[in-house]
């Protein structure tokens, strides 16, 4: 499109990433948080995989909840607590991922640490099914899921999620639920 | 308050919070309002000092005064904060200056944004490193915060005028003290997007913005709009983000129904107390996306996408829910079935905003099924929802997401309706059910019901049913899904007794084995001790 005809309205923001404040002048209002993190702030742990929210490799947490950074407009992240995989909170999970060799090529390893930490904060003792469901959003083509489950087990041993701040009202309970409809008043 | 540039979020019910006042990480408090007015009216808002915004009485009880007061306060607060140049039309516009320099300035903006390491950017990062350095940078970059704001406002937007300049002098010292490195630099760097970025905190403000900017891209969770924007298919001239709108978050209970606010995220639909009332929501949401998608995707976005690919419209249509649509003229209520045309396009006029959905709470079984393009989480190519209401002795089956693949004309006209009620199958079914036992006596009912539902998939031009060479896969899938959903919702008569009997027998076997194992172990222990 011709540059002269199209407006690129921009704003100045201050992003709070990993506890640091980064003033970012002139962010286009359509820019995603991922683009700002990677290209403006040089924080490249959130990977740019598909840019449409399918692959999950740009996982960050927003106010403690996981979110795909490519789907969050940067202007909507400005007043919130953004944590990238570089944050110290994900240190233990990162070591577990490395120890389990859960991400052989390493591309989605940062996202995996975020997903594992989030899972263990929600659910201190997830079963294999709960792990598969929680990590289903990460599209990995090189590790088999057994390594991921092992990574979760190692992260749990390392104490990830012990200081979980999410209360029971936090929404996603993480438990395997109700695929089959309960058949009426059969509970006796 | 936060350097988010949206203006201070005074009393917005704890959502987001500011830089210092943010809640603990993960401490999303979902506002759940119970009770409400005695007549069961559901009320938006009412948090903090803000007066409640009652749906349906949009213009009554001095609504005009409220609106005026709100927008004035928003203007004041934005002008008082140098970090919020756009919401009040603060400092001189780069792109929207309107004096002929816009065209020349736009490439400049892009150059700065693209390189990211130009002079101003570099000074920013140096300045943000420590508090002492940043204070110095702020002081050197521009005059003090209050001065900048007051000076910038009058030449930016005439409508805000003197009142906000006065307010700026009062309010600005506070943020300037909290964030010394912030405001002056931003204002001094002449960054602005006046009238192109909006973060309303109330529904009233949001529809006002939409009335003025009907082409604004509405972003709540971002899962719909952001891929298009990133890929360049959509170029937003103005963006309206709803993440600060506390009224749109959460859900409320009324008499015999729940009101899901449009900003309710899919993850929040999995809460225990909501899924006890509307279990199908949880069933559907679990098939929708990864946890990080569910955490941001909202009900409103799902409704606006429509049943061509989204799942919640199917669920809500089967439950007999209705959609609440707000505009500057008020709030209208439309049933989910009427909300979409037959291609699954939501019937929204420019300037309208989906603010929620009213869902009746029914006692009966609800079942949602979906077939995606792959085994894992994916878009539906077929979804089906069966809701049983024993009190009214009725069942409702809705088929959705039929428009995507394998049809003669794709998603356009001539294909299948995207949201389809199988009314005749429902009516037939209601006569076959033994409602007192919540079961079905005749086992052939299941097969027949599946066939009837599939038969209802008639092409719009009347050229035949789906099975007639059009899409045998879909027809088969609809048959099977409807049959299974019915089997789970209304089991064959006596089947539950059989299950209970088998359960009892299995329990007995397990107990017996446990006792036997214990006896064997005890005998072994005794033998070991003897030796």
CATH number at residue A24: 3.10.20.30
Query: Once rounded to an integer, what is the mean pLDDT over residues A49-69?
Result: 90
Counted residue by residue, chain A has a size of: 188
- Flag whether pLDDT at B153 surpasses 70: no
Query: Once rounded to an integer, what is the mean pLDDT over residues B315-322?
Result: 92
Element containing residue B235 per DSSP (H, E): none
pLDDT number for residue B403: 53
- Measuring CA to CA, which residue among A116, A113, A124 is closest to residue A162? A124
Tell me: do A17 and A48 sit in the same domain: yes
SS3 B508: helix
Number of domains present in the structure of chain A: 2
Query: Once rounded to an integer, what is the mean pLDDT over residues A182-187?
Result: 34
- Flag whether pLDDT at A99 surpasses 90: yes
| A chain contacts of residue B94, beta-carbon cutoff 8 Å | 10
Closest CB to B186: pick one of A12, A167, A169.
A12
Q: Residue B46 and residue B54: Cα distance in Å, rounded?
A: 9
Tell me: do A145 and A104 sit in the same domain: yes
Instruction: Choose between B163 and A122: higher pLDDT.
Output: A122
Return the CATH number at A102.
1.10.150.120
Interface probe, candidates A2, A73, A77, A132, chain B, greatest B C-beta count within 10 A: A73
pLDDT band at B458 (very low <50, low <70, confident <90, very high): low
Token pair listed for A171: 């929404």
pLDDT number for residue B321: 93
Burial of B233 (0-12, 13-18, 19+ CB in 10 A): exposed
**Residue A183 included in any domain:** no
Tell me: do A103 and A127 sit in the same domain: yes
Q: Residue A116 and residue A163: Cα distance in Å, rounded?
A: 14
SS3 A145: helix
Tell me: do A50 and A113 sit in the same domain: no
pLDDT number for residue B478: 87
Chain B's closest residue to A168, CA to CA, is: B271
Q: Residue B458 and residue B188: Cα distance in Å, rounded?
A: 63
- Flag whether pLDDT at A45 surpasses 60: yes
pLDDT band at B271 (very low <50, low <70, confident <90, very high): confident
pLDDT number for residue B364: 85
Interface probe, candidates B10, B141, B226, B288, chain A, greatest A C-beta count within 10 A: B226
Interface probe, candidates B102, B230, B282, chain A, greatest A C-beta count within 10 A: B230
**Residue A149 included in any domain:** yes
Cβ pair B5:A24 closer than 8 A: no
pLDDT number for residue B303: 92
Please calculate the CA angle B253-B399-B460 and round it to the nearest 5 degrees.
Answer: 125
Instruction: Choose between B512 and B45: higher pLDDT.
Output: B512
Tell me: do A37 and A75 sit in the same domain: yes
Q: Are B137 and A23 in contact (CB under 8 A)?
A: no
Closest CB to B109: pick one of A26, A121, A134.
A26
CB contact residues (below 8 A), chain A span 24-83, against chain B = 24-32, 35, 39-40, 51-53, 56, 59, 61-68, 70-73, 75-76, 78-81, 83
**Residue A122 included in any domain:** yes
Chain B's closest residue to A2, CA to CA, is: B107
Tell me: do A70 and A102 sit in the same domain: no
B223-228 long-range contacts (CB < 8 A, ≥24 apart) are B223/A53, B223/A71, B223/B289, B223/B293, B223/B296, B223/B297, B223/B301, B224/B301, B224/B304, B224/B305, B226/A32, B226/A52, B226/A53, B226/A70, B226/A71, B226/A72, B226/A73, B227/A51, B227/A52, B227/A53, B227/A70, B227/A71
- Measuring CA to CA, which residue among B169, B6, B121 is closest to residue A76? B6
Cβ pair A9:B500 closer than 8 A: no
Chain B's closest residue to A67, CA to CA, is: B292
pLDDT number for residue A41: 93
Tell me: do A15 and A74 sit in the same domain: yes
| A chain contacts of residue B121, beta-carbon cutoff 8 Å | 25, 40
Token pair listed for A185: 């008043």
Closest CB to A137: pick one of B109, B226, B292.
B292
pLDDT band at B449 (very low <50, low <70, confident <90, very high): very high
- Flag whether pLDDT at B297 surpasses 50: yes
**Residue A182 included in any domain:** no
Per DSSP, A21 falls in state E
Q: A172-186, B63-77, B139-153, B321-335 — which one is most confidently predicted on average?
A: B321-335
Residue with tokens 């693209």: B114
Q: Are A52 and B208 in contact (CB under 8 A)?
A: no
Tell me: do A71 and A97 sit in the same domain: no
Instruction: Choose between B245 and B50: higher pLDDT.
Output: B245
Residues 6+ away with beta carbon under 8 Å from B316: B303, B323, B336, B357, B359
| A chain contacts of residue B365, beta-carbon cutoff 8 Å | 181-184
CA distance B464 to chain A (A): 34
Q: Which of B114-118, B217-221, B272-276 has the lowest mean pLDDT?
A: B114-118
Residues 6+ away with beta carbon under 8 Å from A128: A149
Q: Residue B227 and residue B191: Cα distance in Å, rounded?
A: 25
- Flag whether pLDDT at A40 surpasses 60: yes
pLDDT band at B71 (very low <50, low <70, confident <90, very high): very low
CB distance from A2 to chain B under 8 Å? Answer: no
Cβ pair A79:B197 closer than 8 A: no
Crossing angle between the packed helical segments B63-80 and B161-171, to the nearest 10 degrees = 60
pLDDT band at B427 (very low <50, low <70, confident <90, very high): very high
Q: What are phi and psi of B243, to 5 degrees?
A: -70, -15
Q: Which domain does A25 fall in, by range?
A: 10-83
Residues 6+ away with beta carbon under 8 Å from A106: none
| B chain contacts of residue A52, beta-carbon cutoff 8 Å | 226-227, 230-231
In angstroms, how far is CA B305 from the centroid of its own chain? Answer: 11
Tell me: do A43 and A59 sit in the same domain: yes
Query: Once rounded to an integer, what is the mean pLDDT over residues B305-323?
Result: 88
Q: What are phi and psi of A176, to 5 degrees?
A: -70, 130
HEC string of B461-494? CCCCECCCCCCHHHHHHHHHHHHHHHHHHCCECC
CB distance from A16 to chain B under 8 Å? Answer: yes
Q: What percent of chain A has pLDDT over 70?
A: 84
pLDDT, tens digit (0-9, with 9 covering 90-100), for B9-25? 333 332 233 333 333 33
pLDDT, tens digit (0-9, with 9 covering 90-100), for B225-266? 999 999 888 888 889 999 888 889 889 988 889 999 999 999
Query: Once rounded to an integer, what is the mean pLDDT over residues B296-300?
Result: 92
Token pair listed for B302: 């799902």
CA distance B462 to chain A (A): 36
Cβ pair A68:B18 closer than 8 A: no
Tell me: do A93 and A78 sit in the same domain: no
Token pair listed for B271: 């809460």
- Flag whether pLDDT at A186 surpasses 90: no
Q: What percent of chain B has pLDDT over 90?
A: 23
pLDDT, tens digit (0-9, with 9 covering 90-100), for B495-520? 888 888 999 999 999 999 999 999 99
pLDDT band at B181 (very low <50, low <70, confident <90, very high): very low
Q: Residue B143 and residue A44: Cα distance in Å, rounded?
A: 34
Tell me: do A97 and A70 sit in the same domain: no
CATH annotation of B250-489 = 3.30.465.10
| A chain contacts of residue B488, beta-carbon cutoff 8 Å | 180-181, 183
Element containing residue B455 per DSSP (H, E): helix B444-455
Query: Once rounded to an integer, what is the mean pLDDT over residues B484-489?
Result: 89
**Residue A123 included in any domain:** yes
Tell me how far CA of residue B353 lies from CA of A24, A93, B71, B211, B331, in angstroms.
Answer: 31, 41, 18, 10, 9
A65 beta partners: A62
Inter-chain Cβ pairs, chain A and chain B, closer than 8 A: 290
Q: What is the ipTM of this complex?
A: 0.81
**Residue A44 included in any domain:** yes
Cβ pair A7:B107 closer than 8 A: no
Domain stops at, among A55, A83, A111: A83
**Residue A181 included in any domain:** no
Q: Are B316 and B336 in contact (CB under 8 A)?
A: yes
**Residue A172 included in any domain:** no
Tell me how far CA of residue A16 lies from CA of A22, A151, A166, B35, B115, in angstroms.
Answer: 6, 29, 20, 38, 21
Tell me: do A95 and A136 sit in the same domain: yes
CA distance A119 to chain B (A): 9
pLDDT, tens digit (0-9, with 9 covering 90-100), for B384-425? 999 999 888 899 999 886 654 444 444 444 456 678 888 889
Element containing residue A12 per DSSP (H, E): strand A10-17
Cβ pair A115:B365 closer than 8 A: no
- Measuring CA to CA, which residue among B50, B55, B61 is closest to residue B36? B55
């Amino acid at each position: 499109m011709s540059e002269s005809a199209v407006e690129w309205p921009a704003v100045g923001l201050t992003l709070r990433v990993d506890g640091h404040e980064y003033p970012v002048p002139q962010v286009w209002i359509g820019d995603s948080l991922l683009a700002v993190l990677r290209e403006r702030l040089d924080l490249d742990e959130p990977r740019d995989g598909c840019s449409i929210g399918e692959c999950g490799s740009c996982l960050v947490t927003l106010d403690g909840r996981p979110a795909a950074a490519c789907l969050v407009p940067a202007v909507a992240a400005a007043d919130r607590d953004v944590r990238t995989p570089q944050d110290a909170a994900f240190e233990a999970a990162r070591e577990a991922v490395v120890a389990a060799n859960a991400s052989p090529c390493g591309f989605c390893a940062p996202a995996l640490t975020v997903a594992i930490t989030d899972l263990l904060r929600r659910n201190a003792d997830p079963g294999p099914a709960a792990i598969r469901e929680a990590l289903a959003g990460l599209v990995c083509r090189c590790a088999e899921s057994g390594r991921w489950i092992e990574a979760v087990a190692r992260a749990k041993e390392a104490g990830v999620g012990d200081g979980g701040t999410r209360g029971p009202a936090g929404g996603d309970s993480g438990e395997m639920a109700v695929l089959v409809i309960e058949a009426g008043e059969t509970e006796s | 308050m936060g350097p988010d540039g949206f203006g201070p979020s005074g009393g917005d019910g704890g959502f987001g919070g500011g830089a210092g006042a943010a809640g603990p990480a993960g401490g999303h408090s979902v506002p759940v309002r119970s009770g409400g007015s005695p007549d069961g009216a559901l009320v938006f808002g009412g948090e903090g000092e803000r007066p409640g915004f009652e749906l349906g009485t949009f213009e009554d009880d001095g609504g005009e005064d409220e609106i005026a007061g709100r927008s004035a306060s928003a203007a004041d607060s934005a002008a008082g904060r140098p970090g919020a140049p756009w919401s009040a039309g603060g400092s001189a516009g780069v792109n929207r200056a309107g004096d002929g320099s816009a065209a020349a300035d736009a490439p400049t903006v892009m150059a700065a944004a693209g390189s990211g390491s130009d002079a101003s950017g570099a000074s920013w990062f140096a300045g943000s490193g420590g508090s002492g350095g940043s204070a110095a940078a702020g002081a050197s970059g521009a005059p003090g915060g209050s001065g900048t704001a007051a000076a910038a406002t009058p030449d930016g937007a005439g409508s805000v005028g003197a009142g906000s300049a006065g307010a700026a002098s009062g309010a600005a010292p506070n943020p300037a003290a909290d964030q010394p490195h912030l405001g002056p630099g931003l204002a001094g760097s002449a960054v602005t997007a006046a009238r192109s970025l909006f973060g309303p905190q109330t529904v009233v403000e949001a529809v006002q913005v939409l009335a003025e900017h009907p082409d604004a891209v509405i972003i709540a969770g971002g899962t719909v709009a952001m891929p298009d924007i990133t890929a360049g298919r959509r170029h937003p001239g103005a963006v309206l983000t709803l993440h600060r709108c506390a009224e749109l978050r959460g859900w409320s209970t009324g008499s015999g129904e729940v009101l899901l606010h449009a900003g309710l995220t899919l993850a929040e639909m999995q809460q225990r107390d909501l899924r006890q009332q509307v279990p199908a929501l949880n069933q559907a949401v679990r098939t929708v996306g990864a946890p990080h998608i569910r955490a941001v995707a909202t009900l409103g976005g799902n409704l606006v996408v429509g049943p061509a690919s989204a799942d919640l419209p199917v669920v809500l249509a089967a439950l007999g829910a209705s959609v609440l649509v707000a505009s500057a003229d008020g709030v209208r209520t439309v049933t989910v079935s009427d909300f979409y045309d037959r291609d699954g396009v939501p019937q929204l006029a420019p300037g309208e905003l989906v603010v929620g959905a009213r869902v009746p709470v029914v006692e009966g079984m609800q079942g949602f099924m979906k077939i995606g393009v792959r085994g894992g989480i994916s878009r539906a190519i077929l979804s089906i929802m069966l809701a049983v209401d024993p009190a009214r002795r009725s069942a409702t089956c809705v088929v959705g997401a039929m428009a995507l693949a394998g049809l003669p004309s794709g998603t356009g006209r001539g294909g299948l309706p995207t949201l389809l009620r199988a009314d005749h199958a429902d009516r037939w079914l209601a006569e076959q059910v033994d409602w007192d036992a919540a079961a079905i006596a005749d086992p052939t009912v299941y097969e027949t019901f599946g066939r009837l539902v599939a038969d209802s998939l008639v092409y719009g031009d009347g050229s035949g049913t789906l099975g007639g060479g059009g899409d045998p896969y879909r027809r088969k899938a609809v048959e099977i899904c409807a049959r299974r959903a019915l089997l789970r919702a209304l089991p064959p008569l006596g089947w539950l007794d059989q299950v209970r009997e088998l359960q009892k027998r299995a329990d007995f076997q397990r107990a017996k084995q446990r006792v036997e194992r214990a006896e064997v172990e005890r005998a072994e222990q005794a033998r070991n001790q003897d030796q």
